[in-house]
Amino acid sequence: MASEWVIYDFVPYWLGPIASKLGISRAYFSIFIAASLCFFGPAPTLMGLTPDHRTKPEDFTVPPKWVPFESTVAFRLFEINRVIDDITGYDENIPAAYRMGATIEGCNVLAVRSSHEFEPEWLKPLQEIHQKPVIPVGQLPPILNYGDYDDNEEWKAMKEWLDKQSKGSVFYVAFGSEAKPSQAEVTEIALGLLEEKKMGYSVPRDEQDGWFTGDSVAESLRLVMVETEGKIYRERIKGMKGLFVDRNVQDKYVNNLLDYFKSHRERNEDAKLKGLN
């Protein structure tokens, strides 16, 4: 049975042209949200086929010219300094920017880990930048089946330790699989959390090297969790809670993507029949 769609991320950037020659439709599934993809820019720019006005690290610390509204989405200097070689291609590997650009260039549709509730202002610009359909697929939170962990020895050991701790004394902090904080950074985060026993907000850092202190973590937490100035953050978090825990909302976005695949197949079949006639 012939394949009708192939769904892939930005790593196999070579897959799009091959699938196209075989008559297979292509969907680029992005774990990056729409705001990030807009910041990265058009595919030709990412691939180095058209000039990019961003030539030095400082250029990536402000929104690019193709973002049509005011935005705070940008790298901080210490962040871009860590990855600038991979973006510009100054290392020995194929740059991540080229991979992403080639992947987008070779796809028919962008399936983005996003939603209209989460970032409605970014979905339309993303479609305009790439001139391709953009389909948000929701935030895709994991489906938790706690029964699967009953026989897991590692989880048993963690659960046994957690059960011994007093209520409100343990914090869970997730950085994502791509984040690799140094031991010093992890220690500073822990010190700040232990001092205040609350969590939230972006901790102020030194813009050159990215360092922060336990005191700066604690002050940020007090701002978000207690102070009047932090009320807006608390309200935003409450507003987003339903989006991330509502399974019906998530299923709706996934079903929209599947409906798009189905309608695309039907259009192709109609076109083939017309060609035969």
Give the long-range contacts of residues 71-74, CB within 8 A, separation 24 or more: 71/35, 73/35, 73/36, 73/38, 73/39, 74/39
Q: Which residues of the chain have pLDDT under 70?
A: 1-3, 88-92, 142-150, 168-180, 183-185, 187-202, 204-210, 233, 236-245, 264-277
pLDDT at residue 224 in the model: 74
- The full set of domain ranges for the chain reads 5-140+247-276, 146-241
CA–CA distance, 27 with 18 (Å, rounded to integer): 13
pLDDT, tens only, 120-154: 999 999 999 999 999 999 887 766 665 666 677 77
pLDDT at residue 83 in the model: 80
CA–CA distance, 88 with 176 (Å, rounded to integer): 24
CATH superfamily of the 5-140+247-276 domain: Glycogen Phosphorylase B; (3.40.50.2000)
**DSSP string over 45-68:** HHTTSS--S--SGGGGGS--TT--
pLDDT at residue 46 in the model: 92
